[in-house]
Amino acid sequence: MSDGIAWIGVYSTAGSSAALPGMLGGISLTCARGIDADEFLIALGADLDELADRTLCRDLLVPARRPGDRSPHVNRAMYGTCGEWVYVLEDWGTATWATGYRKVGSMRPAPDEEVVCVALNAWSPPQRIIHAPGDGSAYQAEFGQDTGEGSALGAALHAAGAVFPSIAEVGEAAAVAHFEEYGPQLPESVFTAVGDYSGLSIDRTAVEAGDLPAVLIPMV
């Protein structure tokens, strides 16, 4: 089944998917091209041996933490490839790349490596989309805004209805009315735009069942 990725936005407010063997609600997405899939996961903090095992998400256990445990907390990250992209799905509240690309050297966007990240930021709103187009820079915007770089991704966000009019453009009353009418569909529109731009298609059934490989990634 090919589901695109709009479904990730549809289920963005569905709550925790902790009871599932895989993931469904509250998924943040990071996708990259111009870099080997394993190299990208290692840059995020994946363990080499664990990565080599290709353990399915449904079989990967997050170790329980004991009082006094000072080791980094880890979260599941399900991954796969589609075309020239590697993608990483996380449902712990946000995306590891979004929290680490500014301070962790291995995550910094390099020339010729493009990264698109949609971070739901459940514990630290607002939701954001971050685009590193491959020139060593990273542009970010809140949901409902354009990244401001004049890129094909920005055009896709506009075409999907994922860029809302600002108060400066239409006035406060019209901006608020637009948000009230279309705000609930905004996550779906953002993921639709990213899917249209990247060509990503991720099987919802496989993700929910945990049929894709996964690794444990430490929080940064």
* Tens digit of each residue's pLDDT (9 = 90 or more) over 120-172: 999 999 999 999 999 989 999 999 999 999 999 999 999 999 999 988 889 89
Kindly report the backbone phi and psi dihedral angles of residue 161, in degrees, each rounded to the nearest multiple of 5, phi listed first.
75, 25
* Tens digit of each residue's pLDDT (9 = 90 or more) over 10-66: 999 887 666 789 999 999 999 999 999 999 999 999 999 999 999 999 999 887 766
* pLDDT grade for 1, boundaries at 50, 70 and 90: very low
**Distance, CA of 204 to CA of 82 (rounded, Å):** 14
**Helices 152-159, 186-198: crossing angle, 10 deg rounding:** 140
pLDDT at res. 75: 93
Q: Which helix (H) or strand (E) holds 213?
A: none
pLDDT at res. 73: 85
* Tens digit of each residue's pLDDT (9 = 90 or more) over 107-118: 998 888 999 999
**Distance, CA of 103 to CA of 135 (rounded, Å):** 18
Beta carbons within 8 Å of 106's beta carbon, 6+ residues apart: 42, 43, 44
pLDDT at res. 72: 72
